[in-house]
Chain A
């Protein structure tokens, strides 16, 4: 492959060079610059949520509630949950990688609605600031689940402000999803048929469906909680004729699919990475693509598995249980297909691939422990314990965050034009894997022992496992600070990455690094299926022996 820039008569201007003023960033409608805005803000929220997690783990080092008061502890786990779910996990991969890559991957100049795209970042920021403000003006201690009647009739009135923040952020998610759907439908370049789309696009399409169909239900539910609090109507308060289980149904109708908003984009990232670092097409492309849609559809039918002990009818429990077993099938299909992709491949262990290995291991454990929770009998015992906490962290952190880090490292040279230090990156990836397992594996054990979640103080016999978990969290915390450091460093001192350091297929690697404002000089034309890798091509990547300078 040759570098196409060489044929150009004059040096092209990339999107980063389009302006350095604050105004040029805050009023940009370029999807790539908006992705950078998301990258900065999502990172800030990640470290706020992470700091909260640090406080929680530190408190749980000893059984007694000696580091914080229970009031502070309850507020801290609420910040941790709200920030990590609504302001980190949901916007992270779609907001950063999705925004940056979707138009380029399908050969478009921009999203279908660039201004709405910018608006959704502003909406996200306003929602985030309001939610953090609610913590300052009084504090919310409901947990991110806002169960009624505690949230409507007991906790402090700051619930209304935080609810408003989350409602507003919901619209950011809706607008992002809307943009994805319309862009993928109408902006594909000539030759980019549906079954030539990268799997990253398929998974974001499925994500976007959930965003536009699920998020409004959360919005109205939160609005009802706020109206309930302000006017004392009691939609969800049995003292006033309301029904607290109605809240749980409405809340989980969104919040279970929201789990798939967090994991589906991660699955898309893994598909891209596994193909590139095996030099092979993803095995069973069609099955992997369709399973994303199957997850999106089935994901809407299993919300009741959060309510097996809530007092809902045991027969309803049966239906939700069987559907929950079925929703595991498409995920299993994906894991097996990714694994088979390695067969007869030409595998290299660059940093992004290390994250793929981490993801596959941890997501497998997370998915399998999901079966424990789908099984009615076991769920009675482990629901609302640390078993649940461990399970969803294996999916959310072991799955989503691993894939996010993998994707960030994979596309970093494309986004910034610079290469990071491979040694540090590998070290962080390995530390992250070790720290993660040390943090969360003991929580499965302590969960089955019976330690309930959201406990500020706990029984003596749970201590050893909690100490292990806190120790792991320390390693994990350090492992997250490394990338922040070496990635920032690479912006200034990193070697130039070249247009295609991984020699990957996909339209994003056909343009320059960083790409020009309108992504391509001429509308690309696609003539081949995706992942047309040559397994016999045994050239080494530039990044493994970084020489600096331009790739030729």
Chain B
């Protein structure tokens, strides 16, 4: 009971901007509430039925006043709209160079996978001052990833990736909540986000995501194989490398440097190769055929054959394949 805050901590770059809109709205609300309350009280007292005051020519309507009453809230509303929308777009659009961490929600826990392969449950360790992007999906129902101190929230859906980004500005531990009702233990689907100075974060990663160094240090290190490396294994195991490698005899779209690029499709449209595109192309290869390739594709579909975590590993692997074609062009 000693801990009795009235305002949440602000620990991300967007928190201050969102709070600014919030305070402006509070100022506006207080102004209008007090205005209405004052007018009500003054009229209620001044024109109380027992009072002898002038009541003639009160007027029953005024076109000018009504125009003002339409115009004034419209202008105020639109001003706030533009301001808050610009903050919103900053808050939902991740910058280019983010640390990508993968999140899988399931009843009733958060599974976190770091690119280095370190995994945690119901806790997320991130470095200070580094933009972090979470690529999230759910294994069952809809959840919502919510860190009040960062003022960020995003629903986590089954069957697709949603993303959320933040840059922490304070070290410490912050609440992580599930904000979308997800069944029995919804209120226990909580955890902590730990923000560490970059050096400590590196050390934490090196310990394989353990708070203290494990007893058999070397043995433990193998547990944290980088995600892209695990994904590379899955890539081979699932037979992806039969086609999707430069040396393959079979023609398949090249994956090196693919991530983040625009892809021209067979029907002439262009899509951005983001996580959701990779996901869809693995699970339903016929959904979007790359220009110059036949339909149907020769690639089998992996719907129902790989789980959410393997999918994340594959996506991480494909994202790690940096553009070699520029080298090829050089030679």
The answer to whether A and B touch directly, with their CB atoms under 8 angstroms apart, is: yes
A residues within 8 Å of B by Cβ? 65, 70-71, 74, 141-143, 145, 147, 149-150, 153-155, 238-239, 244-245, 278-281, 283-287, 309-311, 314, 317-318, 321-322, 325-326, 328-329, 332-333, 335-337, 339-340, 342-349, 357, 360-361, 364-365, 368-369, 371-372, 374-378, 380-381, 383-385, 445, 448-450, 452-461, 463-464, 535-536, 538, 540
B74 on the A face (CB < 8 A): yes
A selection of 27 A-B contacts at a CB cut-off of 8 Å is A149-B158, A150-B181, A238-B158, A245-B157, A285-B61, A287-B69, A309-B153, A314-B92, A318-B85, A325-B80, A332-B69, A333-B73, A339-B40, A345-B55, A346-B55, A347-B47, A348-B49, A361-B37, A365-B33, A372-B22, A376-B87, A378-B21, A380-B88, A450-B177, A452-B178, A454-B187, A458-B187
B186 on the A face (CB < 8 A): yes
- Given the known interface contacts A375-B84, A448-B8, the answer about A154 and B141 at a Cβ–Cβ threshold of 8 Å is yes
Determine the chain A residues whose CB is within 8 A of the CB of B80 once the complex forms: 325, 371, 375
Closest to B92 in A: A314
Closest chain-B Cβ to A196's Cβ sits at a distance in Å of: 14
B233 on the A face (CB < 8 A): no
B277 on the A face (CB < 8 A): no
Closest chain-A Cβ to B302's Cβ sits at a distance in Å of: 15
Closest chain-A Cβ to B169's Cβ sits at a distance in Å of: 16
B215 on the A face (CB < 8 A): no
- Is the beta-carbon distance between B61 and A326 smaller than 8 angstroms? no
- Is the beta-carbon distance between A368 and B33 smaller than 8 angstroms? yes
- Is the beta-carbon distance between A325 and B69 smaller than 8 angstroms? no
Interchain CA distance A279-B180 in the complex, whole Å: 49
Determine the chain A residues whose CB is within 8 A of the CB of B91 once the complex forms: 377, 380
- Given the known interface contacts A344-B55, A448-B8, the answer about A459 and B69 at a Cβ–Cβ threshold of 8 Å is no
- Is the beta-carbon distance between B18 and A378 smaller than 8 angstroms? yes
Interchain CA distance A347-B41 in the complex, whole Å: 11
- Is the beta-carbon distance between B187 and A348 smaller than 8 angstroms? no
- Is the beta-carbon distance between A147 and B33 smaller than 8 angstroms? no
- Given the known interface contacts A380-B153, A383-B153, the answer about A463 and B1 at a Cβ–Cβ threshold of 8 Å is yes
- Given the known interface contacts A285-B60, A384-B180, the answer about A450 and B148 at a Cβ–Cβ threshold of 8 Å is yes
Determine the chain B residues whose CB is within 8 A of the CB of A281 once the complex forms: 60
User: 10 nearest interchain CB pairs?
Assistant: A450-B148, A238-B159, A325-B77, A376-B88, A344-B58, A375-B84, A342-B43, A377-B87, A455-B187, A368-B29
B81 on the A face (CB < 8 A): yes
Interchain CA distance A332-B187 in the complex, whole Å: 37
- Is the beta-carbon distance between B32 and A364 smaller than 8 angstroms? yes
Determine the chain A residues whose CB is within 8 A of the CB of B40 once the complex forms: 339, 342, 357, 360-361
Closest to B158 in A: A238
- Is the beta-carbon distance between A536 and B55 smaller than 8 angstroms? yes
Q: Please provide the chain B residues from 175 to 196 with a CB less than 8 Å away from any CB of chain A in the complex.
A: 175, 177-188, 190
Closest to B136 in A: A311
Determine the chain B residues whose CB is within 8 A of the CB of A463 once the complex forms: 1
- Is the beta-carbon distance between A339 and B77 smaller than 8 angstroms? no
Q: A-facing mask of B147-167, CB < 8 A → 1, else 0?
A: 011011111011110100000
- Is the beta-carbon distance between A70 and B144 smaller than 8 angstroms? no
Determine the chain A residues whose CB is within 8 A of the CB of B50 once the complex forms: 538
Closest chain-A Cβ to B116's Cβ sits at a distance in Å of: 28
Determine the chain B residues whose CB is within 8 A of the CB of A369 once the complex forms: 29
Checking A286, A375, A460 against B3 with a beta-carbon cut-off of 8 angstroms, the contacting residue is A460
Determine the chain B residues whose CB is within 8 A of the CB of A455 once the complex forms: 186-187
Determine the chain B residues whose CB is within 8 A of the CB of A326 once the complex forms: 74, 77
Closest chain-B Cβ to A325's Cβ sits at a distance in Å of: 4
Interchain CA distance A70-B182 in the complex, whole Å: 12
Interchain CA distance A245-B178 in the complex, whole Å: 18
Interchain CA distance A336-B59 in the complex, whole Å: 15
Determine the chain B residues whose CB is within 8 A of the CB of A346 once the complex forms: 47, 49, 55
Determine the chain A residues whose CB is within 8 A of the CB of B56 once the complex forms: 344
Determine the chain A residues whose CB is within 8 A of the CB of B190 once the complex forms: 459
Interchain CA distance A143-B17 in the complex, whole Å: 33
Interchain CA distance A464-B6 in the complex, whole Å: 10
Interchain CA distance A361-B22 in the complex, whole Å: 21
B66 on the A face (CB < 8 A): yes
- Is the beta-carbon distance between A342 and B44 smaller than 8 angstroms? yes
Interchain CA distance A70-B179 in the complex, whole Å: 16
Determine the chain B residues whose CB is within 8 A of the CB of A448 once the complex forms: 7-8, 22
Interchain CA distance A141-B151 in the complex, whole Å: 28
- Chain B, interface size: which category? 35 or more
Closest to A345 in B: B47
B25 on the A face (CB < 8 A): yes
Closest to A242 in B: B159
Interchain CA distance A70-B85 in the complex, whole Å: 37
Interchain CA distance A149-B139 in the complex, whole Å: 11
Closest to A318 in B: B85
B54 on the A face (CB < 8 A): yes
- Given the known interface contacts A278-B47, A380-B88, the answer about A371 and B179 at a Cβ–Cβ threshold of 8 Å is no
Closest chain-A Cβ to B247's Cβ sits at a distance in Å of: 36
- Is the beta-carbon distance between A70 and B18 smaller than 8 angstroms? no
- Is the beta-carbon distance between B184 and A311 smaller than 8 angstroms? no
- Is the beta-carbon distance between A381 and B18 smaller than 8 angstroms? yes
- Is the beta-carbon distance between A535 and B25 smaller than 8 angstroms? no
Interchain CA distance A369-B29 in the complex, whole Å: 7
Checking A364, A365, A385, A445 against B6 with a beta-carbon cut-off of 8 angstroms, the contacting residue is A445
- Is the beta-carbon distance between A311 and B162 smaller than 8 angstroms? yes
- Is the beta-carbon distance between A375 and B25 smaller than 8 angstroms? yes
- Is the beta-carbon distance between A377 and B88 smaller than 8 angstroms? yes
- Is the beta-carbon distance between B154 and A309 smaller than 8 angstroms? yes
- Is the beta-carbon distance between A238 and B58 smaller than 8 angstroms? no
Interchain CA distance A281-B58 in the complex, whole Å: 10
- Is the beta-carbon distance between A322 and B81 smaller than 8 angstroms? yes
- Is the beta-carbon distance between A361 and B36 smaller than 8 angstroms? yes
Checking A285, A452, A540 against B146 with a beta-carbon cut-off of 8 angstroms, the contacting residue is A452
- Is the beta-carbon distance between B81 and A452 smaller than 8 angstroms? no
- Given the known interface contacts A280-B58, A344-B47, A380-B88, the answer about A372 and B25 at a Cβ–Cβ threshold of 8 Å is yes
Q: Please provide the chain B residues from 190 to 214 with a CB less than 8 Å away from any CB of chain A in the complex.
A: 190
Interchain CA distance A70-B47 in the complex, whole Å: 53
B39 on the A face (CB < 8 A): yes
Closest to B284 in A: A241
Interchain CA distance A360-B55 in the complex, whole Å: 23
- Is the beta-carbon distance between B84 and A321 smaller than 8 angstroms? yes
Determine the chain B residues whose CB is within 8 A of the CB of A245 once the complex forms: 157
Q: A-facing mask of B104-126, CB < 8 A → 1, else 0?
A: 00010000000000000000000
- Given the known interface contacts A317-B88, A375-B81, the answer about A535 and B184 at a Cβ–Cβ threshold of 8 Å is no
Determine the chain A residues whose CB is within 8 A of the CB of B159 once the complex forms: 238-239, 244
Closest chain-A Cβ to B227's Cβ sits at a distance in Å of: 23
Q: A-facing mask of B254-284, CB < 8 A → 1, else 0?
A: 0000000000000000000000000000000
Determine the chain B residues whose CB is within 8 A of the CB of A368 once the complex forms: 25, 28-29, 32-33
Given contacts A281-B60, A384-B146, 15 further A-B contacts (CB under 8 A): A150-B182, A239-B158, A244-B142, A311-B160, A333-B70, A333-B73, A349-B44, A368-B28, A368-B32, A377-B84, A378-B25, A449-B8, A452-B146, A453-B181, A460-B3
